[in-house]
């Protein structure tokens, strides 16, 4: 009786090979399913990013406009002092560059008058420089005829600043 319950060695090898093949197939299917799911979710998140990028591409490009160096006498305090400052205007539209080129004599005049009305003590602190930057921005905006372009003048940056 004990001989009839035993399976021949060849049959055991076939069963173990079938089990191994089934396990390998299940593992391959699981890996493919995981890779497919990962690809799908990457595509979904990729679409969401491109939609958020579209408004950025519609945003107006930033343009930097370098102005010639300004050298002015400051209001006298203890002794005569002068200010030499380099400016760059940050704007959002290229049309601002064209409009500023048309109005450059007026812009330079307004900035020169503003700078020459200052005292060295007013400009020595960070807050004084920030206030001056804002005032120069306002002067440039007032020089531009188009109200739409006035809003495109973002800020004035100092590229050099010397008080002597």
Rounded alpha-carbon distances, angstroms, from residue 94 to 69, 98, 103, 104, 148 = 22, 7, 15, 15, 13
Tell me the per-residue pLDDT of 48-92, one tens digit each, with 9 for 90 and over. 555 545 554 466 788 899 999 999 999 988 888 999 999 999 988
Tell me the per-residue pLDDT of 107-116, one tens digit each, with 9 for 90 and over. 999 999 999 9
Residue written as token pair 């490009």: 61
The pLDDT-based confidence of 5 (bands split at 50, 70, 90) is low
- Where are the domains positioned within the chain? 2-58, 63-163
Residue with the bigger pLDDT between 43 and 106: it is 106
Closest CA to 154 of 17, 140, 125, 29: 140
Indicate the average pLDDT of the chain: 83
SS3 (DSSP) at 129:
helix
Tell me the per-residue pLDDT of 110-147, one tens digit each, with 9 for 90 and over. 999 999 999 999 999 999 999 999 999 999 989 888 87
The CATH code for residues 63-163 is 3.30.479.30
């Amino acid at each position: 009786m004990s001989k009839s319950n035993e399976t021949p060695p060849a049959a055991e090898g076939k069963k173990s090979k079938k089990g191994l093949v089934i396990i390998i197939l299940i593992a391959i299917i699981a890996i493919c399913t995981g890779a497919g799911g990962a690809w799908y979710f990457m595509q979904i998140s990729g679409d969401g990013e491109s939609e958020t990028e579209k408004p950025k591409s519609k945003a107006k490009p930033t343009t930097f406009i370098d102005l010639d160096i300004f050298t002015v006498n400051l209001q006298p305090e203890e002794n005569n002092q002068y200010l030499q400052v380099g400016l760059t205007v940050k704007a959002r539209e290229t049309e601002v560059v064209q409009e500023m080129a048309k109005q450059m004599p007026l812009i330079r005049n307004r900035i020169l008058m503003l700078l020459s009305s200052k005292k060295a003590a007013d400009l020595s602190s960070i807050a004084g420089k920030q206030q001056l930057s804002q005032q120069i921005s306002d002067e440039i905006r007032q020089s531009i005829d188009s109200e739409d372009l006035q809003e495109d003048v973002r800020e004035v940056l100092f590229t050099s600043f010397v008080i002597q």
